[in-house]
Amino acid sequence: MRITNLEKTIGKFHMEVNDFYIEPGKIHGIVGPNGCGKTVFLKMLAGIITPDKGILDYEGLSSRDITMMSQQPYLMHTSVYENLIYPLKIRGTRPDEDEIDEMLNRVGLREQKNQYARSLSSGERQKLSFLRAVIFKPKLIMVDETLSNLDSESEEMFVGIISEIQKERPITWLIVNHQMDHIYQLCDEIHYMEKGRFVKK
Ligand SMILES: Nc1ncnc2c1ncn2[C@@H]1O[C@H](COP(=O)(O)OP(=O)(O)OP(=O)(O)O)[C@@H](O)[C@H]1O
């Protein structure tokens, strides 16, 4: 995916990205201080915010191939299972029950499968939101700080799951955080953002 001459002004905040290439099949980290524009950038790629100008070339990816995990995952007023299969349902895909059970097991949510999703702890919600994002096998996943609030054991688990996914069927990841953490060991490339621009470090 290539981003060219992108500009966006929101109040006092101004973003300018002249030429940014996201190599497919790789794990990209985006790091930068609070308020530098990481979320705004992801939202523009996800089509949630419209840029003032610039070209976003998705190189053949359609909106069905892209998913964004936001900082505060939206969970429906249903069970963990129903939340999990929702993206499959709206695409008319039948869930692979064995795969779902295995994934729930991996992240330690198997026993909560039929629990009301909104009663999960914040870390468990993040795990559910992560599974929901990967389960319909998108080609581009954007992760907005979702993995930044986990205990180190859970973080290691995610590093394991992401590496496995990459080995089986590489997808493109954009993982955002305001600090370097273990997730970044995974990254093939790290991009630094400051005050609405990508900078070299
Ligand atoms: N709807 C909005 N109205 C006004 N200002 C906004 C709006 N959305 C974002 N901004 C401003 O744009 C700037 C970039 O915000 P953004 O959420 O992208 O930062 P971030 O890098 O993701 O920060 P953090 O690490 O704190 O999540 C901030 O100064 C923010 O206040």
Report angle CA 22, 36, 23 to the nearest 5 degrees: 5
> In whole angstroms, what is the distance from residue 137 CA to residue 141 CA?
9
In testing the pocket of ligand 1, which one of 38, 41, 45, 177 has its CB within 8 Å of the most ligand atoms? 38
CA 145 to ligand 1: nearest atom: 27
Q: How is the chain split into domains, by residue range?
A: 2-199
| Residues 179 and 145 sit within 8 Å (Cβ to Cβ) | no
Secondary structure (3-state) at 171: coil
Q: How far is the CA of 66 from the centre of ligand 1 (A)?
A: 22
Residue 23: predicted pLDDT: 96
pLDDT tens digits, 88-129: 998 899 999 999 999 999 889 999 999 999 999 988 998 899
Q: Residues lining ligand 1, judged by CB closer than 6 Å? A: 10-11, 13, 32, 34-40, 178
pLDDT tens digits, 70-87: 878 889 999 999 999 998
The architecture of the domain spanning 2-199 is: 3-Layer(aba) Sandwich (3.40)
Residue 49 class from Cβ within 10 Å (0-12 exposed, 13-18 middle, 19+ buried)? middle
ipTM over 0.90: yes
